[in-house]
Structure 1
């Protein structure tokens, strides 16, 4: 719907009401991410090699900025190596597992 048409249909009072409802409701982009994660996990599970990954994917696997994943990541101790080159290689191999070299 074009903005002009929306302006003709919705009064400013209705718009403020929608804004208030949005703030009270508490839903928003996180729910959009969850819906997208659900679709992504469904597709991933259809194509999942059960010999390589026995556990199915869930929606949160595709939402790395999700609070639950962030808390789990905080609980893990970082791996710190004395050798800077080895540390860099560890980072690259973690971020890019198919990287040659």
Structure 2
């Protein structure tokens, strides 16, 4: 439903009810990413070598955008002098690699 249609069809009381419902049962891409991350963390922890990785993986460990995810460690960009090395770093970061 468009915003204009919602404003025409939903009054303030109903809108407040939807806000309260969202607080109880959130929806949207953020919660879907968290659900996917839970499954990924489960799989990673099943296969985790507890000697090499003593701390269990958490769902947000697999999303760079998350406030507590891997990208949160540093907000500083990594800029290399060599364009080919910069490209290789980007490819390895996005697609994985060694």
TM-score normalised to structure 1 length: 0.55
Between the aligned partners of 1:79 and 1:42, the Cα distance in structure 2 is 30
Between the aligned partners of 1:59 and 1:51, the Cα distance in structure 2 is 20
- Cα-Cα RMSD: 3.1
Q: Give per-residue Cα distances to partners, 1:15-36, cap 9 Å, x unaligned.
A: xx5x753333342123343233
Between the aligned partners of 2:71 and 2:35, the Cα distance in structure 1 is 21
Between the aligned partners of 1:92 and 1:34, the Cα distance in structure 2 is 24
Question: 5+ residue gaps in structure 1?
Answer: 1-12
Higher RCO (CA < 8 A, seq sep 6+): 1
- Rg comparison, structure with higher value: 1
- Residue 23 (structure 1) aligns with: 19
- Residue 66 (structure 2) aligns with: 66
TM-score normalised to structure 2 length: 0.56
